[in-house]
Structure formats: structure tokens, C-alpha cells
Structure 1
Amino acid sequence: MKRASLSPQHSPPQSTVAVFASPTSWIESDAVAQCHQVAKLDGMIHVAAMPDLHPGKGAPIGAAMASSVLYPFLVGSDIGCGIAVFPIRLKRAVPARLAPRFPDLDRAPEPDDPAWAVVDGDVPTGHLEGLGTVGRGNHFVELARIDTVFSPDHVSRLGLAAGDLVLIVHSGSRGLGERILRAHTEIHGAGPAPDPAAYLTMHDDAVRWGSLNRRLMAARVAHALGTEPTEPIVDECHNLVEIRDGVYLHRKGAAPGDGRDVLIAGTRGTPSYLVAAHAGPEANHSVAHGAGRKMSRADALRRGRVKHTVEQLRSTSVGSLVVCGDRQLLFEEAPTAYKRIEQVIADLVDHQLATPVATTVPLVTYKTADIGYSRRKRGRS
């Protein structure tokens, strides 16, 4: 762990930065520099950077930041973004047969869609726009199989075993969170919330909305694959702020790590890791949320077009298939654009922040609707 004390003019003497990564881990200097810039903010106490740290727009992604002042821009626009895991029962899991059956998660479900049954009560703020949709960027819905089990007792307590299938849903509050941040930044820019209680009321609604959105998408996929929806066994948000120990703990791409089960996403071509998180105050009670980008989207697009064809990116080295009708997104989100998930997990273990429970291996990863997918499959057969 790398640690530095800061005493800038407008920051209290105790403002510190800790990076929970080994010397061999890929950590961009720009991302570390962003952590130090955040540490200079008025009221900032401690910045904990996870091993998936990478630069963001104005603030680092993969960091947990404790402050006596609430800064909405440190959480960002996708308030409530997180990852949920749902058990799913299928008789056979053949990727080529299941991929074409995924619903169009770019469009809201029809009024008569049976998935709406999971919406129990009112929708937070009554915001229906985008509900039940995945969004773009690194969001995804994935059918995966439990592979390596490190802790059989723990996996059993979750109702799972090696070989079982799960749906992994990564998405957030869509336009609702963006609307909340824009309302703040149009007046206050990157400054603090003038009324923290008012912001937190809207923020908490967006967090609940994001969780409901993940449940609705999982139900849509379950019905489309011919089975019934289930309750999530994991649903942790990694873009949020909470009041902890009397201060505001901002998380931007960092999952709560205080005694919870967390799914740390790999890529569409590598395993993900279910871990038992037990991070303490030095890490701001947080763990990594994924592999973390190694390349910018522009670099991934430029390099990927040299090395791969579109068709090559529709399948992966682990035998899974990718549903993605956006060719640019295929390149931007290629597995090579991300860090090695094994190194991220090793860093968490070395710093005693988490213990691996099991891995999941992708079968089908949905990014965005691919209208021509079924047509191509029929043509080959």
C-alpha cells in the first residue's frame, strides 16, 4: 500500500491518500494525481484508492473518499450504479441458443410484460423513463456459471454450488441520477452540496431506483429464457455517498466492503469474483468494483481495430458469446481494455480487504441489442 500525507493550503493536515495496490499493478499516474487533487478539497479527510483505480472525468474511478463536506460530483451522474447477482434455473445452458433469446434491454418493457410483477410498490420519484433498461458504457447483463469454488460453506449459504447458473446485472439509475447531478452542477459546479439533506433525499431515491432497475432487468431476462425470476443474493451499489462515523463517505466505482458479499466484475472474456469483503477504515470500508480500465475508450477502439474483427469480438476465449449491436462499443469494451482481474483480486487479498468465495465464468454477455444476431445465426445453420 502506498500512502502519502498532504497538507495543502485549503485542506486539513490529516488529509491522506492510500493506494491499495502492489508495485506491479497497473495504476495510471493520472489516476493517482486525481486522488491527490481530491485530497486537497475542503473538508477531505482520507482517500482510499482500490486496485482497479483509473482516471475519471474530474474525479478518480475506483476510490472511496471520506470528507466532512458532501461533494455530489465525487459520486457522479450514475448514482446507484451497482452489481446484482440472481440465481437462475435452466435445463440447458447452450450460449448459441440462449443469446438470441435475450430481450431488447435498450427499450423499456411493454406494459403487459410479466417482469413488472417484481415492482412491488411505487417506483422511486415516479420516474419511469429508462426503467428496465441497461444503458451503455460498461453496463451489462450476463448469464454466467459458478466455476471455481474457494469456500464451499459460504457458497452453500448463498444457495449455490459449482456449476449453478446466475444472472449478473450491472447498471444504475440511468437518466434519474444524471438529472440530479445536472441540477447541482448547473448552479454549483464541482462545489459542495449547499443542502446535504436535500441532496441525500434525491440521492437515496436514485439508489433505490438503481436496485429496482437491476431487478426488473433480471426478471425480463429470466422470463425471456423460459424461467421464473428470483431474488438477488448480492446487490451492492458502488456509486453512492453515505454518512459513516459522522462524515460523508463518497464511493465512485468502489463497493461497500464492510462485511458484505460483493461481485467484482472481470470482463466479458474473463471470470468475475464473488468475494467476502472485510475492509476496514484505512480502506474507507470499501473494495474494488471490477477489473478497472487499462485503456481509454479511444485507445481501445484504435488498437482493437488493428488486432480484431467485429466477428472475433462477438465470442470470447472462455467460449462465451457477446450480444452487442454497437460495433464501436464492442471494441471499447473488449477484454484487453481492462486490467487483469486476477491481479485486482490478489491486491485485495494481500491488503486483507476481501476473501474470494467463488468465480463466475460468462456464457452470454448482453451489452446492447443486436438486431442481426438471430439472422446471422440462422444463416450459419
Structure 2
Amino acid sequence: MATVTVFASPTSWIESDAVAQCHQVAALDGMIHVAAMPDLHPGKGAPIGAAMASTVLYPFLVGSDIGCGIAVFPIRLKRAVPEKLAARFPDLDRPLDPKVDADDPAWAVLDGEIPAGHAEGLATVGRGNHFVELARVETVFEPGHASRLGLAAGDLVLIVHSGSRGLGERILRAHTEAHGAGPAPDPTAYLARHDEAVRWGSLNRRLLAARVAYALGAEPAAPVVDQCHNLVEVRDGVYLHRKGAAPGDGRDVLVAGTRGTLSYLVHGHAGPEANHSVAHGAGRKMSRADALRRGRAKHTVEELRRTPVGSLVVCGDRQLLFEEAPTAYKRIEQVITDLADHHLATPVASTVPLVTYKTPDLGPRRDRRDQRRERGRA
């Protein structure tokens, strides 16, 4: 049986079901060590917020959103008035079509060919916990480190959390239809497709940031941080599966809070006991169904569009507003404290949201069902 280590304090919110999933993974053939991060929570068949080392490659441990990650892009704006900027965000549900939108300036970030030739869904955010956020650097804890990244208190950044959209799902489906939850029979072939999805996810984040920058009247910039947290890394001859866990071996990582809390830029220095990984976010403490039920009893839609920190949420999907409410997540401060106390990462700076984009805002009297009905009549 492989070893399991949970990097969280006794006071942290860790569901027993998530720990049980870690032990189920530890029982798989070839598994060596499972490192659970403080944002650990149950996933579909495998825990989210875990790094799992094995001599056998298991595609289901990474899941369908291969290449999902978070990138941070500096952005310069003359004035940052959330109410005005929220209205200027483009429709990031509408993909950029290389043929139809060939003149879009965002394509300048594309260097070479589109990975896997997968043009479907390019420059779209996706659902769930994915987002594009305009934020301000709040507190700098490590001025020297932040300066090397070109960041200082008061600077504006775009934070983009998105993945490989349908490409990763297609790769996983091709495996599971033939092999279920079993190992990859040809790891080299799987990794070749996997690596394309990782590159696609990174390109997608750059395209999203460029689209938003132009819409807000700014010039796009290269990311100062771009780390994937759903991937397989071959390290010392071992397959290191990360599902909702970011590389923490000397790299900078944006650990996302919620749309109503701070996020934290950290410098990872996790060792082998943590499978060289750090947390990727606050981690859910409620299922989507629970968040929807409790949220509807406690909040109105308009209350959820303006967050406790004064930021605005652009989201035309009412159900998603409740599912992704800040109260559905753990306290990000506790996650960061656990990372620091276990010597996995050092906080560099915090960011506070100004505008968080989820889906196009359809106005107060319309929701996603209205939009779907209209599309069905088109």
C-alpha cells in the first residue's frame, strides 16, 4: 500500500470522503505516494487537490480537463472603475474562429500552429470554477520576489483560470471507452496527446487575456505566472499525476481564492514528501447541489453579483452564481497558512478582485434558459 500524507492542520476543513478517495488511489497497482493538499475535496472517482506518484500511468487521475491552470498577466489601465470595466468584458462564451475571426488582434499571441489542430472552443472560459478576473495587487509580503516578477502593490493583473476545454475530454474519453479507469497501455502515446492538451490550455489562457486586454483598452502582456494543475509529469522515472495540485518545486503559483476573497501568489518549494506540489485554490467545502440549495435560501442573485470585497461578478447563469458562491469554498487564508506551516510555499503577494467574469451577463430579466431557447429557435 502506498503512503498518504495530508498537508493540513487539524482545524482545516478536510472531508472524510476526500481522504477516503486518497486511500483508494493509494491501493492502485504501482502507486507509491499520495500527497493531499489543504484544498483537498472529493472528485469524480479521484480526489481533487492531490498529487499522486506511481510507476503506472492512470489517465483518470488527471481527468478530462488536461492542461487546466491559472495564469497571471500584468495589465495597465488609466482608471479601474469596476462598474465601467465589467460592461466592457467581451463575450468569452463565443470562441475565436481562425477563419471567421482571422483579423482579431488576439491571434498575435499564437506562436506556431494551434496544438492538435483543435480550433473548437478557442478563447472561451468554460464552466464550473473557471474565470477571468481583473484584480489589484493588494499586499506584497516579499517585495524582492514580487519586484523580480515586475509586480508591486496597487498594480493591476488579469487572472485567467481555464483549461483545454473539449480537447482534454476527448483524450480521456478515447482512453476510458477502451480501458475504463485502468492504466494507459501505451503511456508514450497518451503523453503525446496529453502534452498537446497542456499546450492548448496555456494558449487558451493567453488568448483569453489578450481578448480582455484589448476590450478594456490595454495592450496584452506576457504572463508572469502560468502553471498547470491538471497534468502528468514524468519525474525520476515515476508518473506524477496532479489533479487540482500545482507544481511547487521552485515555481510561482497563483492559489485562487473565490470571487469574494483574496487570492495569493506564492513561491513553491515543496519537496518529495509533498510530491513537489502545492495547492491550486481554496477548495470546495460544499457540493454544487448543496451550494445551490443553501445559496437560494440565503442570498438573492443581485447580492451575489456584488461581493463582500466590493468587486463585481459578470455571470448570466443564475445557477452558476449560487454554485460558485464564496461560501461554497474553504477559507483561502487557512489554505495559505497550511502551505506555509508545512514549508511547501512562501506567500509573495495577495490580490483582490475588481471584476470576475464567469459568463456573459444577460441582464436582470434573462438567464441561461432564455438564451438556450433563443438559440434553439435560430
TM-score (norm 2): 0.95
Report the 3-state secondary structure (helix = DSSP H, G, I; strand = E; otherwise coil) of the residue aligned with 2:306.
coil
Residue 107 in 1 paired to residue 94 in 2? yes
Q: Give the gaps of 5 or more residues in structure 1.
A: 1-6, 8-14, 376-381
Give the structure 1 partner of residue 43 of structure 2: 56
Distance in 2 between residues matched to 1:322 and 1:112, nearest whole Å: 29
Q: 1:19 and 2:6 equivalent?
A: yes
SS at match of 2:21: helix
Q: Partner residue of 2:21?
A: 34
- Tell me which residue corresponds to 2:321: 330
Mapped contact 1:323–1:373 kept (Cα < 8 A)? no
Aligned twin of 2:162: 171
Normalization by structure 1: what TM-score?
0.94
Q: How does 1:272-311 map to 2 (within 5 A)?
A: 272-311=263-302
| Residue 138 (structure 2) aligned to one of 127, 130, 147 | 147
Aligned to 1:4: none
| 1:259-278 correspondence runs (5 A) | 259-278=250-269
1:52 aligns to what SS in structure 2? Answer: strand
Q: What amino acid does structure 2 have at the position aligned with 1:243?
A: V
Q: 2:236 aligns with which of 245, 249, 261?
A: 245
1:337 maps to a residue whose letter is A
Matched residue SS, 1:319: coil
The aligned amino acid for 1:106 is D
Matched, 1:188 2:175: no
Distance in 2 (CA, whole Å) between partners of 1:116 and 1:224 is 14
> In the TM superposition, what whole-angstrom CA distance separates every residue of 1:262-294 from its partner, at most 9, and x where no partner exists?
000000000000001000000000000000000
Code of the residue aligned with 2:15 in structure 1: it is E
What RMSD in Å do the two structures reach over aligned CA positions?
Answer: 1.1
Indicate the SS of the match to 2:257. Answer: coil
> Which residue in the other structure is 2:374 paired with?
none
1:361 is aligned to 352
Give, in angstroms, the shift of residue 112 of structure 1: 2.4
Out of 345, 355, 362, the position equivalent to 1:371 is 362
Structure 2 alignment gaps of length 5 or more: 367-378
Partner letter of residue 62 of structure 1?
G
The Cα of 1:371 is off from its aligned counterpart by: 2.6
Shift of 1:374: 12
Partner residue in 2 for 1:223: 214
List per-residue Cα deviations over 1:295-353 (Å, max 9, x = no partner): 00000000000000000000101010000000000000000000000000000001000
Q: Which residue of 2 aligns with 1:68?
A: 55
- What secondary structure sits across from 1:249 in the alignment? strand
1:47 and 2:34 correspond: yes
Shift of 1:176: 0.2
The answer to whether the Cα contact below 8 Å between 1:100 and 1:373 also exists between their aligned partners in 2 is: no
1:92 paired to 2:79? yes
Could you tell me how far apart the structure 1 residues matched to 2:5 and 2:110 are? Answer: 40
Q: How far apart in 1 are the matches of 2:324 and 2:103?
A: 33
- Deviation of residue 111 (structure 1)? 3.0
Identity of aligned residues (%): 86
Rounded Cα–Cα distance in structure 1 between residues aligned with 2:310 and 2:364: 17
Separation (CA, whole Å) in 2 of partners of 1:291 and 1:236: 16
Report the secondary structure of 2:20's partner residue: helix
2: distance between equivalents of 1:42 and 1:192? 9
Match of 2:190 in 1: 199
- C-alpha distance in 2 between matches for 1:207 and 1:125: 11
Match of 1:101, SS state, is coil
* AA at the equivalent of 2:316: G
- Which residue does the alignment assign to 2:64? 77
SS of equivalent to 2:87: helix
1:34, distance to aligned residue in structure 2 (A): 0.1
